[in-house]
A and B are shown apart, each in its own frame.
Chain A
Amino acid sequence: MFFLSAVITFPLLGGLALLFFPRERVTALRWTALTLALVELVLVIVLILTYLQHTISIFSSSYLSESWSWLPSLGINYSLSVDGISLVLVALTALLTTVCIAASFRIERKIKNYMAFMLLLESGMLGVFLASNLFLFYIFWEVMLIPAYFLLGTWGGERRIYAALKFVIYTSVGSFLMLVGIIALGYYHQLAAGVNCGYTLELSQLLNTASSCRGVLGSDIQTWLLLAFAAAFAVKVPLIPFHSWLPDAYSEAPAPVTALLAGAMSKTGIYGFLRLCIPLFPQAVQTLAPLFNTLAVVGILYCAVLALTQTDLKRLLGYSSISHLGVIMLGLFSFNAQGMGGAVLQMVNHGITTAALFLLAGFLEYRTNTRRLSDYGGLAARIPWLAVAMGIAALSSLGLPGLNGFTGEFLSLLGVFRSNVTLGVLGTLVVVPAAWYMLRFFIGIMWGSPRQDGVVTASIRKGSLRDISWKEFWVVAPLLLFIFYIGIQPAFIAGVINPSLINTMQVLGNAFAR
């Protein structure tokens, strides 16, 4: 079967095809790119329906997996598979890419390359979520970096070069360490399993506990390998103190790119922890869990305090994003059903909410040409529907019960509390500053007395400060819909995630099913 390959390569091929378009047919280029993303979304929906019919796990022989020999002597195969966890993330990626491409119609410069890079980025992320060979995973991991670098460096704001370089250097140091880790993992696995077993980087073989070729790694080796892998993932999430690239990158990139990076790409880091680190190095993960938990909990509170005082809209959202990702990390390292289930659910929620916030901030910036919070004030009367949309996204982000952000964070923190009360309490504390800075964000723009001078007033005088347009509305509408849907009825998505999670986590061997 080629279906997973088709899902991954379709955006890539579509993007390449775009390059043959005549440059001046701007409108056609935009609509073609959007059509490609929509077709890809349909493919993903077909994938979801197929998956639901054949509920299967990543490790069992499955209808929805494929494997082609590539460099067998080096353990490198082209193999893909899908389970509930990767499925929801694939769906998130396809949805956000579509939305972000639709939000990019305002990009004027080099639109052809821009759209091609967006589609390439989508392929890279989908590959990461679907790869089941470590080397293939690494290739897709690097494939993500290239379009992200160009999108940031070419279409970004004034300090885009600095931001792009910083982003690339941080990420590539991490991924280099991961490459070393991958090669070493294969070596140590072979060493432990016996010479006859061959060198493999195939995830299913590395994890197959029933196989005679099972190599159990010593705990020292596990620890070093875990650290190597974690270097790549911690930068991507990011965990503090590896986050310094993020405020620059998020604030300099054009809004749809930021939305895609924050919404979807940050999930690849967490996915790496969940799909690779935890099952491959179960002992080391439990030994080092206090380290990751500490980084996560410090990051949660530290970034929340930072978000309180940011003066730049996108930087505020950026720090808020790191803070909320910390809750997901805590949930992941609680090693129980609520914590980890909530973490995966919250990956989806965070993606939707963060993307919505960045896109809406982008709509606003487009109208006023400023990101400074102090330039705004009292706009709700001028742009009431944009205010409503932004209010919903902000409430979702601060975790208002009844909206999507609450379901994921509640479950995660419940799991964290059960495994470690101190961490649970510290992690939950964040709801107070989170409400404070999100209200400061919303009130600072929409409420209060309107300013008498400044750029925003100038754009009001020019008449460029209009309420949300229909096009913009259709861009964010799906995201707002999911904000309500997952908040009110999370059982469906949780039902897709949980069986796969239990499969994956049996490796941990403790009372996961609690």
Chain B
Amino acid sequence: MTNLSLWVLVLPLLGFIILGLMGRFMPRTAILTIGWGACGLAFLLAAVNFINMLSTSAAQRSNDSVIYHWISAGTFSLDFGALLDPLSMTMLLVVTGVGLLIHIYSAGYMADDPGLWRFFAYLNFFIFAMVLLVIADTFLFLLVGWGLVGLASYLLIGFWYQRRSAVAAAQKAFVINIIGDLGLMLAIFLIFAQSGHLDYGSVLAHTFSGGTATAICLLLFVACAAKSAQLPLYMWLPDAMEGPTPVSALIHAATMVTAGVYLVARTSPLFEQSSVALAVVAGIGGVTALYAASIALVQLDIKRVLAYSTISQLGYMFMAEGVHNYAGGIFHLVTHAFFKALLFLGAGAIIHALGGEQDMRKMGGLWGRLRITGVTFLIGALAISGIIPLAGFWSKDEILGSVLAQATASGNVWYYVLWIIGIVTAGLTAFYMFRLFFGIFAGSYRGETATAAEHNAEVNEAKDENTLVTAAGHQHTVHIRYSAIHEVPRVMSTPLIILAVLSVVGGFIGSLALFGLPGWSPLTSFLPSGLHAHAADLPLGLAWISTGLSLLAGVLGIGLAWRFYGKGFGYKTQMQGNPLYQLVFHKYYVDEALNAVLVTPILALGRGLTRYLEGDVLDGGSRGISMVFHGSSAVIRRVQTGYMRNYALGILFGVVVIVVYYAMRG
């Protein structure tokens, strides 16, 4: 089998270098040619390689080619190599494919931004870094890719770098991701110390002692939790919505945040050695899914709803992996990439059409104006709500089924709890998605009726933050009349349509066992057998129960949303008095708590140490010592009078002392 992954890696890098150095001076068409071209060719090569892979026998579908020798020190020797196997192939196709659609869409979304060249340079850089992460064949280069996607994410969140909120969000995202990198580094140290290798081949075949395996897996999962925004390291993702919306779609929904899911799947032989670590993965996944969904229920910013939804859906993927069904996690990763990218791009289209408005309270009635966006958004919402036969139904169903299978196989009551959490979250998902959908599209347009007071408050806020903004963008919310709202240009609607189609049919790459086709499961049989072989089987009857309940939960959620918001989104002011509402609305006050418990004390410590220990003690100490010398020399100097008689007196005194001393000694 050929391995073209090096070219898939190099092309976006070249695009980044060219755009980064010369993009500033390029016309728009040149920027788009290079930006789209780099990503498009990468996708093309990946697709060609995929077809080539399908034509080879399953045993030969893995190719690990060494590119160059990186370093050696003692027994530590490391090459950089590109590993292409069905798992990395799947990821490559998602990354470059969805990436290409978002590249195309961005040309419309970012059309008016003077930093267009910078945007495409960063996007190409991100594709490069993500491809590196996926095709690395050692833990070290995984870490390199891991760090570089973090940098890409940082640069893109902070794309409008003169907005204070964007800068703060970028910094937060980077620092929290560094905590993940720290976990990954320590995991790598432990792996090398115990096995003496860092390449996947040797490490994944190595049997670690029980405690070590658990420690390694938990450290790896710290990295996954940071990158994939799981509890307790999820805080950066909602803030990351400060970046341009295509970035939210590409990095913070479809690809980068799924790196953690990829890593667990990649290292599944290690996780299989530690049932404790797997239980943690499943538990964190489940709790995160429910927790994030609850916050999404009350958010007013449409991108924030989607951000919490992403966190929640990533939780589902980890749930699947925690019950040995890694292939199920990857399946949901793929379908989620389709419908979540679709939803984000749809949200972007709405924001674009409304001149930067993101607040659901000022939307409504857009179904009449934004027909393509509306229909595709509806498809995305149905898909994520798990409505048959859309993509989300199949993958979510697979996950819930394998959790129930694990529960019945192990008899452990906690897996039943996890399964119920999954069902409840499915209902919540449907509810908040359709709250969002009705809020945007149903009822009548509320943008024009925004009260004068509200408007003024916003203008003042804008004055505070962005007065000297030179980089344009969607900083200033322009209130647009209903009749002036227009559907987005073709360059933006085409990716929406493609993604909508994928969100409809994407699920059919999964298993159709439920519908009498037990032999049909293209994705699972494509992926290595280790990714699903350890999962428990579920009797068909129970599978139907699980499916029926999750479908029921989805329909119920949509129904409730229709009941409350079907005629238009009314912001319930009386709920503001409800403490529970306040708690959820303020995201459980986690950010505030973190600031109070961690950030403020560390900074206070630094200031205190600078002032007292560095200043008074160390600097003061050395001053003190010099004062002692200074003072004593001032005293001693007096002895040196320059008068012969004083010295003679001194000599006489000395002689007397010596004589007396010897006389006393006898």
Which chain A residues have a beta carbon within 8 Å of chain B's beta carbons?
166, 169-170, 241, 244-245, 247-248, 302, 305-310, 336-338, 341-342, 378, 380-381, 384, 395, 400-402, 406-407, 410-411, 413-415, 417-418, 424-425, 428-429, 431-433, 435-436, 439-440, 443, 446-450, 452, 489-491, 494-495, 498, 512-514
Contact = CB atoms under 8 A, between A and B. Distances in A.
Contacts of A247: 614
Contact of B606 (A305, A425, A489, A512): A305
B175 A244 contact: no
Nearest to A340: B73
Interface stretch (B157-165, B292-300, B373-381): B157-165
A449 B164 contact: yes
Contacts of B644: none
Given A306-B606, A439-B175, A342 B471 contact: no
A417 B193 contact: yes
Given A305-B605, A337-B74, A401-B146, A378 B162 contact: yes
Interface in B141-166: 143-148, 151, 158, 161-164
Nearest to B198: A414
Contacts of B607: 309
A411 B76 contact: yes
Given A413-B185, A417-B193, A449-B465, A308 B603 contact: yes
Contact of B71 (A302, A407, A446): A407
Contact of B181 (A309, A431, A452): A431
Interface string B570-614: 000000000000000000000000000000001101110110001
B182 A424 contact: no
19 contacts: A306-B609, A308-B606, A309-B603, A309-B610, A310-B610, A341-B73, A400-B147, A401-B147, A401-B181, A414-B189, A431-B182, A432-B179, A433-B602, A435-B174, A435-B175, A449-B466, A491-B70, A491-B72, A498-B74
B161 A514 contact: no
B186 interface: yes
A440 B170 CA distance: 11
B168 to A, nearest CB: 9
Contacts of A166: 622
Contacts of A448: 161-162, 164, 167
Interface residues of B, number: 59
B171 A439 contact: yes
A447 B622 contact: no
Nearest to A434: B178
Contact of B174 (A429, A439, A494): A439
A443 to B, nearest CB: 6
A490 B609 contact: no
B121 to A, nearest CB: 11
A28 to B, nearest CB: 35
B461 interface: no
Interface string B1-31: 0000000000000000000000010000000
Given A428-B185, A498-B72, A447 B162 contact: yes
What are the 4 A-B residue pairs with the smallest beta carbon separation, nearest first? A337-B74, A309-B606, A401-B147, A341-B73
B193 A418 contact: yes
Nearest to A444: B167
A444 B610 CA distance: 19
Contacts of A381: 162, 470-471
B64 interface: no
Contacts of B164: 448-449
Contacts of A413: 185, 189
A447 B471 CA distance: 12
Contact of A424 (B68, B179, B189, B622): B189
B626 interface: yes
B73 A342 contact: yes
Contact of B73 (A248, A411, A447): A411
Nearest to B70: A491
A432 B175 contact: yes
A435 B606 contact: no
Nearest to B147: A401
Contacts of B73: 337-338, 341-342, 411, 415, 494, 498
A346 to B, nearest CB: 12
Contacts of B140: 410
Nearest to A512: B74
A378 B622 contact: no
Contacts of A241: 618
Given A381-B470, A401-B147, A449 B162 contact: yes
A418 B76 CA distance: 12
A59 to B, nearest CB: 20
Contacts of B189: 413-414, 417-418, 424, 428
Contacts of B182: 428-429, 431-432
A170 B622 CA distance: 9
Nearest to B75: A514
A513 B76 CA distance: 10
Contacts of B470: 381
Contacts of B147: 400-402, 406
Interface in B108-160: 140, 143-148, 151, 158
A258 B179 CA distance: 31
Contacts of B605: 305
B69 interface: yes
A449 B468 contact: yes
B192 interface: yes
Contacts of B537: none
Nearest to B78: A491
Contact of B162 (A244, A432, A450, A513): A450
Contacts of A494: 71-73
A414 B610 contact: no
Given A244-B618, A381-B471, A490-B70, 14 more contacts: A244-B622, A305-B605, A306-B610, A337-B73, A381-B162, A400-B151, A402-B148, A414-B76, A425-B186, A428-B182, A435-B178, A439-B175, A443-B171, A449-B466
Nearest to A308: B606
Contact of B143 (A170, A309, A401, A514): A401
B469 A449 contact: yes
Nearest to A487: B144
B124 to A, nearest CB: 16
A435 to B, nearest CB: 4
B619 interface: yes
Given A244-B622, A381-B470, A341 B74 contact: yes
**In this complex, which of B76, B158, B190 has the most chain A Cβ atoms within 10 angstroms of its Cβ?**
B76
A169 B161 contact: no
Contacts of B72: 491, 494-495, 498
Interface in B92-114: none
Interface string B610-637: 1000100011011000100000000000
Nearest to B196: A514
Nearest to A414: B189
Contact of A410 (B185, B465, B609, B626): B185
